[in-house]
Amino acid sequence: MGTVKVLSRSLGRHCGKRSEPYSSQLFDFCKFTQPLIPENSHFHHWQYHSRRTLILQSTSQSVKLNRLSIPDTGIVEVKLDRPEAKNAIGRDMLRGLRESLESIHEDASARVVMICSSLPKVFCAGADLKERKTMNPSEVQFFVNSLRSTISFLEALHIPTIAVIEGAALGGGLEMALSCDLRICGEDAVLGLPETGLAIIPGAGGTQRLPRLVGKSVAKELIFTGRKINGRDALSMGLVNHCVPAGEAHSKALEIARDINQKGPIAVRMAKRAINEGLEIGMESALELEEECYEQLLNTKDRLEGLAAFAEKRKPVYTGQ
């Protein structure tokens, strides 16, 4: 299946009333990726044959896709791995992110995604400014639009996503974390959108997602000044869900991922849809959306399994059916 069809199906299933803005963003994403990933490329061969293995490799050397094994089957890790550049986002890493997210979108067994770093004290330092310096204005625009569309695709994934932040999450790195459903950080995390210091603005969703999380006034201060904050400050303003001792963010995120993974997978997906789409519309329409999502669960095998397990005082075994 081509990239356009993959993303079109994502829109039809998961974006609902938000499909118009996402449609525009993801259509651009297709435009950016198609010249880079022809139908007969190695990527398309990899996409459909290697996902049976435990460790999933992308064509990028900067991103590794890891599917956890029993008892954590269903949890998938997207690991940023570019130590020489502090996980700065360049063309290769962006390609790896795109391929990893497309693979997860097509993987019916995936239930929770953790976005994390292979480096101990860095999540993502933002855009690769050394690479950016070699680009002309049209190439910069092309790259930023592609990054924005990739991050929007991460946000539109139908399963829960968790950003695991140790160390620096700056610029595009923080924007990536903002698009996730949950954010877990260590106390020594450093978060910020420093773009105004370079005479630009956040271009991958930061000006829109940050105020939706922390409020307009706080977001304006952080973006206008480019000020960096630590993990505790991020927790106090609602930017992250949990702030734990340095080095323990992955353990906390995995604990939450395991908890989610034990719940009914269709129910979790419907809950995500109801929350995300409902916040963008009026209350009356949002309640109708909730009803629609609830009705889709009534005839599932998982719902009957949940009732049976409750009656039999045992742990339910959900299959996603």
- The 10s digit of each residue's pLDDT in 279-315 is 999 999 999 999 999 999 999 988 998 888 889 888 8
Catalytic residue list contains 291: no
Catalytic residue list contains 175: yes
Secondary structure, 3-state, 12-30: HHHCHHHHHHHHHHHHHHH
**What confidence category does residue 35 fall into, taking pLDDT thresholds of 50, 70 and 90?**
very low
One of 16, 126, 171, 172 is an active-site residue; which one? 172
CA angle, residues 276, 254, 55, in degrees to nearest 5: 100
Identify the pLDDT of residue 59. Answer: 62
One of 85, 175, 267, 274 is an active-site residue; which one? 175
Tell me the pTM. Answer: 0.80
One of 168, 195, 204, 219 is an active-site residue; which one? 195
Instruction: Report, in angstroms and rounded to the nearest whole number, the Rg of the chain calculated over CA atoms.
Output: 19
In 3D space, the residue among 194, 196, 162 whose CA is nearest the CA of residue 179 turns out to be 162
- 103 contact partners, CB below 8 Å, separation of at least 6: 47, 51, 56, 58, 65
One of 85, 88, 127, 156 is an active-site residue; which one? 127
Percent of the chain having pLDDT more than 90?
65
CB contact at 8 A, 35 and 57: no
